[in-house]
Amino acid sequence: MRGLRITQFQTQPYLALLLSAKTNMTSSSVEAAQQGDKYRASLNGEGEKNTKWRFGAPPNYDVVNKLFEEGRTKIWPQGSLEEKVQNLLKSWEMEIFHKKSFDDFKTMDPKKYTFSLNGRKPTTLEEIVQKFGGGYNPLLQTSLPEEFQFYNIAEETAGVF
């Protein structure tokens, strides 16, 4: 049975952080997480002062974080692998949708990142943005004939990517 598979998910500081006790995060990344968004280290701080944001400014996740905290069923121990993965995915999602320049990404190496779904040919980050419009659209790929597709990327994606 085939399923969702992300291949070559390369991360810069975070992979080492997840796989070892050592942290590759700079002190400014840690401070940013403590002073700004507690789930997304690459959102605020000195390391983000030159970041090019897709909508002109960093997003505000205050409401999203509040809803997350009210609705979650598990609070991971601080520093645990589960907490690190949770925060990595939240940071990755924020970068994919809100950072305009691949050079500003910190959760992955854009030159090495590829995505493959259900055995399809791996797609680079640049191809994901150009071909699919970015975001979650690559997850909605299908080989169904057009008349059976429930979602048309070309018609339903905002042209912000």
Q: Provide the domain count of the chain.
A: 1
Please report whether residue 6 resides in a domain: no
Please report whether residue 125 resides in a domain: no
Cα 99 from chain centre = 10
Looking at residue 32, what is its pLDDT?
40
Please report whether residue 68 resides in a domain: yes
Looking at residue 124, the DSSP 8-state letter turns out to be E
What is the per-residue pLDDT across 17-70, written as a single tens digit (0 to 9) for each?
333 322 333 333 344 444 579 999 888 888 888 999 988 999 999 999 999 999
Please report whether residue 78 resides in a domain: yes
What is the per-residue pLDDT across 121-150, written as a single tens digit (0 to 9) for each?
888 988 888 777 777 878 877 778 888 888
Q: Which residue range(s) make up the domain with 19?
A: 12-104
Predicted model pTM: 0.67
Cα separation, 84 vs 78, whole angstroms: 9
Cα separation, 89 vs 84, whole angstroms: 9
Cα separation, 45 vs 30, whole angstroms: 9
Please report whether residue 130 resides in a domain: no
Please report whether residue 147 resides in a domain: no
Please report whether residue 23 resides in a domain: yes
Please compute Rg for the chain using Cα positions.
17
> What is the SS3 assignment for 152?
coil
**DSSP state letters, 93-118:** HHHHHHB--GGG--SS-TTT-EEEET
Looking at residue 29, what is its pLDDT?
37
Higher-confidence residue of 119 and 74: namely 74
Please report whether residue 142 resides in a domain: no
What is the per-residue pLDDT across 67-108, written as a single tens digit (0 to 9) for each?
999 999 999 999 999 999 999 999 999 998 899 899 999 999
